[in-house]
Structures are given as C-alpha cells and as structure tokens.
Structure 1
C-alpha cells in the first residue's frame, strides 16, 4: 500500500508567530480578556505558520479538536468571505490533568477572523460535540447556533448553568437547507445513538464538503428511520470535493450491530432479575433510555431517573416526541424504597466511572438518595471511553463487593459509530476527490485513510490531520499549508484557561511528593528574625516517625536565615529563595523526594 502523503504546495508569505504554548502538555492559557497568555507566566516558544489567504478563491478546513483524540470535536470551514464552524465539544481530562474539570478547544483561529463567522452548525447533541458551546457563545454571542430540535434543546439546557445571555438558536429539520453568507448547508438525517443526528452537506464556491458527524448505518433503527441514503448518494453523484468522516471504529472490521440487538439482551436480563435493576448509560443515549422504558413496561416495573443530566434529556426528549414515556410509570428516586425491589428500574449516569457520577457514588455507598443492596442487577450499557477503563473497572469491582450482579460489555451495549464496512459504504456513496478522517485517535485516522485508498481515493488526496492543521483547497491544488493554535484550553471550576503547564506541574508534584512549608517573620526595618522558622509538611513523610528530620529542617532554615543576615541580603524575596534551596537540598538528600517547597516570609 502506498504511503499516505501530505501535499504541501509552496507557502505564500509565511507569517511565523510566537505562540505561548507548552510543548510538554500541549496546553495554552487565556487571560480574562481572551488574550494569549503564557502558561505559568513563562514563555514557551512554538512557531505558528499560517499563510496569508490567497487572492484567488480558496477553501480552508481547520480542525480545532477531535483529531488525534476522542472528544472536543470542532472544525472550521473557511472561504474567502465566510466561516462556518461545525460542532464545539468538550473532552474529559486525562489522569495527568489534576483538578481539571473539562477540556475545550482553543478559539484563537475563530477570534482572529470573527467578522467572517456566519454560524455554528451542530451535528448532534453529545457532549463531545456541544459541551464547548457555552464557552464559545460567551465570547461570540452574535454567532447563531443551528441544529435539530433535540440538539438545540440540549445546548439550551446548559445556558443557565453557564450564564449565557440572549443568543440565536435556529432549529432545522433534517433535509432543510440553511444559507450562511455565500455558504449553504443541508442537514442530512443520519443514524447514531442519539436522535436528531445529522450529517452536513456544505456547499461552498469552490465545491461541496460532506461532514458525516458521528454515524453508523443502522438498517433497523428503533425509530424506524434509517439514514437518508438517497440524499447522500445524490450529493455523491453531483460531486463532492472533500469528505470528513467519523473514524472512531475505523480499526473495527465488519458492521456495527443495530440498536435493536440490545433489546434482546435487555429482555433476557429483565426476565432473570429478581431484585431491582439499575441501568447506567450515557445521559444522551435516547434510544437506550427508550429500550429500558419499554422493558420496564413489559415486566411491570416502575422507572426512576437518577442524575440531573439524565433527567434533562428525558424531559426534552419526551417533550419533543423522541421518547415515549407513560408518566404513570415514572416514580421519583426518593420513592424507590416504597416499592418492592422486583417492581423497580433505576436508570442512572456513571457508565464511565466518573468520580462524581451517580453510579460511582452508589458503588462507594456515598449517594444520599440511592444505595446498592445485595441482589441488585446492574447493567452498564456503554463502552469505556479510552482512558476511562480503570475507573470503570474500579466501579464494577465495588459493585460486586456490595453484592450486585453486574452485566457489562458485549450484549449490553452497541456502538453508535460505524465500523469498516459502513465507513467504506459512506466513501463509495459520497465518492469524494479528497478525504479527511476526523473524530479519532491518530491510529484511527490512519486506518480510515487506508480504507479511503481501498475505496478509490488517491493516496495523495487523503490528509491525516491533527488539531490546528490548516488544509487549503484552490482551483489547482490542495494540501496542508500551515498550522494554527490547536492545543487544549483547560476549565477548572469557574476558571477558563487559567490553569496551564506550570499549575499542572505543581499539582503533579503535590500528588506524588507532597509539600513542605517554612514560615518565618522578619522585621521590615532591620531584617531580624522575629518568629520562626516553623516547618510544616503534608504528604512528604510520616510525621510521628520523623521528628529528627523535622528538627534538621528547622536547623537548615535557621542556617539559611543566618547566611542571609551575614551577607546583608535581608529582603523577603532573597530570603524565600535561600530557604527554598536549602530545604529542597536537605529533603532530597534524606528522602530522595522533591516536594513542593513553599517558603512564607512575613515582614512585620
């Protein structure tokens, strides 16, 4: 097989810019006014090369998330006069991002061209496609958000929490075409694990872009509405310049099973369960919610929903007609214990082992409203997202310890993403000239590009991209022509982007080696030591058995203070540095550890 090739035409007027960007963690921070700020206050040089736009008609595709990773999907499609953004998702932090809540994309490329932005198109309402929208709208409230009814209902549900003001939400039906400046986009009905999912056929002056969004070709979907093959084939016949396609299951051979296969598995589980049944799934998996409700009705069980996000989805999906739920069969979670165990189903969140999710807290006996009891049947109806395997395994072990019967893995869940045969079918229907695999880790993107070659895409026309790569099309050529900001923006509590590489490094040190604090008070006039030094430690060593070391640390601090006095260097900053060096050296010599050293010098 021929190697994948990136055609890079000669760059016009390359403009290098210094980006305040941390190589080791791919993290850039933002100041409160949105300006670029170096992580931890230090400048780490990285070269950004974005050529000036050509005078001739051009089209640029710039992934800002979702390439070489699972999550925070976001793509910019730019022409001479217009920009359309496709999705704006979030990603959950990895285990090295201590204290970080979520990760979103860097909006710098959009910010620098904001006058061209015509709209944000939403393919569907999963968190990895809409979770970043509130942060996007805080900065760009004038940009309309366009999607199907359930997608926008899930977006709107976030506005109160994030204090998003008045913005334009434009609801469309599958098959509807919207005009955004000189760009038109049709929402093409697609099957996925969430109702209202659509692909996008985006017409530009230079040609048509087909973005699949998340998809699989489910021939027997629960709602009876398979993908709009006719529309996909119609665009393929008209000619597609470039296809952007979901790569999640590009390494998986065959077809992804239909959602209906889960119904049979659920039926068997419900028939055998003697006690309560607890089903954990993604909150947004409306087909799965419907399957649980249907089985509950069949076996005369009441249903309770646990978890705010799940309750929101149930409310909106029922209101919009995507979920059929007889209200007389729904009970409050507080009333579950009033019913015999064999008459209750609890549907909950926590299928990914998230620390604060309902199922995880139940497995630890920490949930105030629901407890696991011996004889409960727990069904985990989701596949662990890469990186969550340990958390899920820990939750399952804890459930077993509490006496629950646990079903997970094959049968209890099917993927919402197409496997290789479906990806090949999409390629053969669309028949693109160029191909960009998206939504997947790098190896998945490479596997998908190889599938495209098998489907007839020329090797040099398949671009395996990473976040921030700029792919440009003109009438005569196409290729990667530059790189923009594609790093992570970390959200920690109410802070957006104020946690950078330096903060993460300190948090890693605190988690592994602990902290040593030295507190001393000095006279502001003559620099005499008024009180201290006092030494306090956390997470460094077992204090009751370390009296000698603590005394040695105080002695080392006294000696450092005396040296400062003799040398006439009594300002607080100098004293802090001397204390840090002295204590750090002694701790390492005695323990081979490098804790965070915090000298506190108070001038009185």
Structure 2
C-alpha cells in the first residue's frame, strides 16, 4: 500500500497545525489549527468574518493547496485536542472536505462552538465523538485509534492510523503525566503495544526537546500554586490570578485554593467562561454551585464593581490575559480600563508561561510593566508545560521503535535539538528522519 504524508502546517512555526496521511486511497487529516500570533499583530482582526484565503495569506491558518496532490479521498478530519492551534482553522477549511470531524467529546464541543461563531462559511461536516481507546474503520483496510495522553487541556489524545504497512502515530501534543489532576494518566502501555505491532512513522511535537530531564506532572504545579496562595492567606488586599482558560485542571486548583484562603473565586473573560462552562456541562469537572463565570464585557465590569464595593480582600478574580493579549481582562486591568483598581502590594499570579514567540513575549512584557506601574507584585511561572522534554522523547522513541520520524510543531531552529536526540537513537536525516517544511509531501511507501 502506498503511504504518503503531507506536512501542511506547523512545520515552520508553533501554530496552525495540519497534517494529512494517505494510506492507499484513504486520507486522514490531523488537526486544522490557527497561528494566533499572526492575528494578534493586527488591530481588531475578527477571524470569524474573514475569508480563508486572507487568513492563509496572513500565515494564520494552513495553506492546504498541497492536498490536491494527494490521490485519495479524505475519510476523517481528526483534531487531537481543543487548543486553537489545533482546531482554530476547522471553521475555515473543513467544509472543503466531504468527511466527518472525529474527536473526543470535549474537543467536539469546542469545535461545535467554533463552527457556531463562524460568519463566513457554513460547515456542515458530521461531528463524530470517539473516546480515548476507541477505534474506527477508515476505508476497507485502515483503522483509526485514539490513545489517551495528558496535556494542558482535558480529553487530549494521540491518534494512530493503523495500515497494512504499519502504524502512523501522530504525536502532537502531550506530556507524560502519571499523576494528573483531572483525567487518566498517559496510556504508555498502549504505546508500547503499538510499538511491538510495528510503527511505520511517528510525527512528534518538538516544543521542549532542548530542555533536559522530564516535564513535571500537573500535580507538581498544583502543589506550587497551593504553596504560593497559602502564603497570601493573611494579605488583606487584592489578589488576581491568570492562567490558560483552556487549562481546566489549573482553573480547578485556583478555585479550590481561593476557597481555602477565604476568598470567593470568580472566572472572568469570554474564553474563561467558554472552556470552564463547557467542561462543567460535560461533567469533566465539578465546580462549586455558586462559582460565577462571566464573559460579556458588561457582566465582567459589573462584577468588578461588586468586588470593589464588597472588598477586594474577599475575592479572587481568575482572568484571561496571561500572554498580555491586548483585549484580555488582565491587560485591561493593567491599563486601568476596568472598575477593578490595583493598589500598591496587590498580588498578580501568572499560573502560565509565556509562549516562546516574539509577539507574545512583547505583549507579556508590556502587560507586566503596566501592572507594576500600578504597584502590583508579580508571581511568575507557577506552571508546568504540556509538552515533553528530552527524557520523554527518548521514552516515546523507545516505546514506539518507529521506522520513520517526522519532527513537527516548531521552526527549523526548534527542530535542531530533536534531530540531535533522534540521531543518538539511531535515526538519520535524509533516510528515516524527515526534517520538512509546510506544504511538502513525504513518500514513505511507494
């Protein structure tokens, strides 16, 4: 059987992930993501109203024209998890393919919301839910399997396409968490079984390859956060926290520790309301009945006024804006554009790291400066990454024993540490270690 892989997006940057695998006449597309930094550098861009061609020209979504070179029919579009760099282009591109969107329940719900907010295209693709551990026939000879992984969002999987020539394992995004705060641990036993069955190709996220050791568990971040927040128990001023709105496990910890130190947590910002509200509705998390979630600007400002009237010392606002996004809550607070007033000594907890990209780094720097000018004290990097470090990559290569490897989710500079690591494992550039770019085809089996 001919096996061909199209590396469409995410092979020159962190963002706008999209990869297609052709096995015989069947094609499976993994991810259709957005590169948010390409959008944020423009003022007041509303992607919902933009044409896909304009977004492609901006470098914001994948240029999928290479798909016309694949001689087969798309049988499934498979997003691995609900982050925008993996699902943010579905509402712009999926309607071009007569195929269902297959994902885990939480991811499907987020995709559904993306499609609902789309104003330019009508996406009519069927939405099919499949749990981790599930399988689905792809044509007559291939099969799709979901393997449970742990990441900084719940309900994440690594999809595996089983073909007569061996398995294609799409390894974006994960860390090896054996003690997660929410959900099940990574299913390394199944990865080892797949390795024994035979892996033709492994496509791997290279985000943290240059970092030594292994990525800590989310339970480590939870203990760090608990220590920081308990140290503030006697502070009688304002405390504000920010994290990734999609990081439900971290939001859960913030909510619990706020209550422990005698403060009422409240979630503020559109994306904070969207992700946490969806997770609670689908029973992935159990929040207190009285937890307030407010996304609309007027509702948020009313809540800020109530906090100021009733006393900042009684509340913990959990807000969007950890990357310094111009329209996010924390950025507005730093600019003095909300009713919430920061005073000298107030605490701001960043339970997140800056995404290593110049736009984010610049915006975050500006946001912190504005907060400090108002007297805020910054608690930084109370966080663990959602991506594998060096030892995790060795462990995955050891488990899967792949014949071929394709590094992804980085630029050429970011691929270099992974190339060094993979060559130590016995792979060789130009033979079975395929360093590639966006818009390229790799023929694995002729």
Report TM bin, short chain: 0.7 to 0.9
Partner of 1:148: 104
Partner of 1:581: none
Quote how far apart the aligned CAs of 1:456 are: 2.9
Q: 2:26 aligns with which of 76, 79, 82?
A: 82
Quote how far apart the aligned CAs of 1:360 are: 1.1
**RMSD between superposed Cα atoms in Å:** 2.1
Partner of 1:216: 175
What CA deviation, in whole Å up to 9, does each residue of 1:357-406 have, x standing for no partner?
11111111124x54434443111122212111121011001001112111
d(CA) in 2 for partners of 1:314, 1:169:
21
d(CA) in 2 for partners of 1:69, 1:248:
10
| Structure 2 length-normalised TM | 0.88
Q: 1:444 aligns with which of 397, 405, 414?
A: 414
Partner of 1:430: 400
Quote how far apart the aligned CAs of 1:143 are: 2.2
d(CA) in 2 for partners of 1:458, 1:363:
50
User: The residue matched to 2:61 in structure 1 has which SS?
Assistant: strand
Q: 2:142 aligns with which of 162, 174, 183?
A: 183
- 2:143 corresponds to 1:194: no
CA contact (8 A) 2:240 2:317 kept: yes
d(CA) in 2 for partners of 1:331, 1:458:
51
Segment of structure 1 superposing worse, 254-263 or 218-227: 218-227
CA contact (8 A) 1:255 1:418 kept: yes
Partner of 1:32: none
Partner of 1:401: 373
Quote how far apart the aligned CAs of 1:233 are: 0.4
Partner of 1:167: 125
d(CA) in 2 for partners of 1:190, 1:455:
23
Quote how far apart the aligned CAs of 1:429 are: 0.2
Structure 2 residues without counterparts, runs of 5 or longer:
48-54, 295-299
What CA deviation, in whole Å up to 9, does each residue of 1:542-566 have, x standing for no partner?
xxxxxxxxxxxxxxxxxxxxxxxxx
The within-5 A match list for 1:372-387 is 372-385=342-355, 386-387=357-358
d(CA) in 1 for partners of 2:380, 2:77:
36
What CA deviation, in whole Å up to 9, does each residue of 1:39-88 have, x standing for no partner?
xxxxxxxxxxxxxxxxxx31111111111211011101113311110001
The within-5 A match list for 1:359-508 is 359-367=330-338, 370-385=340-355, 386-387=357-358, 388-409=360-381, 412-459=382-429, 460-474=431-445
Q: 2:94 aligns with which of 119, 137, 143?
A: 137
CA contact (8 A) 2:13 2:410 kept: yes
Partner of 2:211: 252
Q: Which has the larger radius of gyration?
A: 1
Aligned residues: 415
CA contact (8 A) 2:63 2:439 kept: no
Structure 1 residues without counterparts, runs of 5 or longer:
1-56, 476-604
d(CA) in 1 for partners of 2:135, 2:16:
26
Q: 1:121 aligns with which of 49, 60, 78?
A: 78
Judging changes above 3 Å, is the alpha-carbon distance between structure 1 residues 113 and 95 closer, same or farther for their aligned structure 2 residues?
closer
| Structure 1 length-normalised TM | 0.66
Judging changes above 3 Å, is the alpha-carbon distance between structure 1 residues 113 and 245 closer, same or farther for their aligned structure 2 residues?
closer
d(CA) in 2 for partners of 1:128, 1:338:
39
CA contact (8 A) 1:302 1:330 kept: no
d(CA) in 2 for partners of 1:162, 1:75:
23
d(CA) in 1 for partners of 2:342, 2:68:
49
Flag as ranges the 4+ runs of structure 1 deviating above 6 A.
none
Partner of 1:72: 16
d(CA) in 1 for partners of 2:422, 2:69:
33
d(CA) in 2 for partners of 1:396, 1:90:
26
Judging changes above 3 Å, is the alpha-carbon distance between structure 1 residues 353 and 180 closer, same or farther for their aligned structure 2 residues?
same
